[in-house]
Amino acid sequence: MKSNYCALALDVGGTKILAAAIGADGELLGEAERPTEAARGGAAVLDAMRAALADLPAGLPTVRGLGISAAGVIDPDTARVVDATDAMPGWAGTDLRAAFPGMAVHALNDVHAALLGELAWGALRERPLANAVMLTLGTGLGGALAIGGRVHTGKGHIAGHFGRARLQHGGRWRSVESLVSGTGLANLYRELGGELPPEAGARAVLQEPLDAIAEAALAIWVEQLAAQIHNIRWTLDPECVLIGGGMLDAKSRWWPQLQAAVQGVTLLPAALGKRAGVFGAARHLFDQLEAGT
C-alpha cells in the first residue's frame, strides 16, 4: 500500500543531482536527474536543485519536507555547508534551509546520507543497530561510520572523511583519496608510465583487455584500499565495512583480490546504488520530524 505522505529528497554530487520522492516505508515514488553545473557556482547549483525537484511527477502524497544529501562538510543541525572543495566553487557557506523557504529542510553529507539509507532500506537493513563503516569509491573517496545504527558525524561533522587523511607514497605526502578512488587508479596508471587523456578516470584504465600497466596499477590500488580497511578495523573495530560508489561497476575486477587481502572484517557491497543518498536524506528528514526538530 502506498504511503499517505512522502519526503522530497535531493542528492547533490559534483556532476549530477538526483531528486526523488520517497514514501515513509521507503517506496520510491518518482525521481528526476539534472546536471549539477558545479563550476558555475553555488547559486547555479541551487537553481539546478530546484529544477530537479520541479521535474518530479505530479500527484504525490502529502509532502512532509525536503531531505538533502550533499557533497562537502554539512552541519546537520543547521543544514549549512561548512566546507567544500574547489570542485564546487561558492558552495561552502551555503544555507540550504534558507534556500528552500516554506519547507522543513534537513541536510547531511552525501556519504553520511548513503550509510543512513543503507541502514534503513539497503544492505544493512537486517542490522539496524550495526557498528559499521561505509566507503564510497567514486571520483573521490568518501566515508561514514555508524555506532549502534546511528550515523556519527563528529564534533566538526567531518567524521568518516577518510579520503582527506594523508599518507606517504612515492616519496611525498598526499591524500588517501589521490590513490584510493577512481581518480586514484588513474593517477597510479599514469605514474607507472601509462598514457591517458587529462580528463580520463578509472573507466579508461579498466577497459578490456587490461594491459600490463593497468594490472599493476590495479594491484597497487587494491593494496592501498586493503591498507585503509586494515587501519579502519584496528581503529574502529566495525562489524562490517560497506563499499559503494561507481567503482562497484567494475567489482568483478578487484573484489576477489580485496577480500583475499582483508582479514578480520566483513566486506559488503552497497545495495542502493546511486539512490543511497536520496534514501538516506529522506530517512534523515523523517527521523528529525519524528524527533520534533
Q: Is the pLDDT of residue 146 over 60?
A: yes
Are both 13 and 109 inside the same structural domain? yes
Are both 153 and 283 inside the same structural domain? no
Are both 99 and 131 inside the same structural domain? no
CA distance 52 to 33: 6
CATH number of the domain within which 62 lies: 3.30.420.40
Q: Average of pLDDT values for 90-119?
A: 96
Q: Please tell me the pTM assigned to this model.
A: 0.91
CA distance 272 to 51: 24
Those residues with Cβ within 8 angstroms of residue 98's Cβ, 6 or more apart along the chain or in another chain: none
Q: Average of pLDDT values for 189-193?
A: 96
Q: Domain of 83?
A: 5-120+274-291
Q: Average of pLDDT values for 28-32?
A: 97
Q: Is the pLDDT of residue 220 over 90?
A: yes
Q: Which residue has the higher pLDDT, 201 or 68?
A: 68
Name the pLDDT band for 2 (thresholds 50, 70, 90): low
CA distance 153 to 24: 24
**Number of domains within the chain:** 2
Are both 131 and 265 inside the same structural domain? yes
Neighbours of 54 (CB within 10 A): 10
Question: Residue 54's pLDDT is what?
Answer: 97
Q: Is the pLDDT of residue 3 over 80?
A: no
Name the pLDDT band for 32 (thresholds 50, 70, 90): very high
Q: Is the pLDDT of residue 286 over 60?
A: yes
Q: Is the pLDDT of residue 219 over 70?
A: yes
Type of residue at 28: L
Q: Is the pLDDT of residue 198 over 90?
A: no
Helices (H), the chain: 42-54, 110-121, 182-191, 202-205, 212-236, 251-261, 276-291
Question: Residue 86's pLDDT is what?
Answer: 82
Are both 86 and 161 inside the same structural domain? no
HSE of 108 in the Cβ direction (CA atoms, 13 Å)? 31
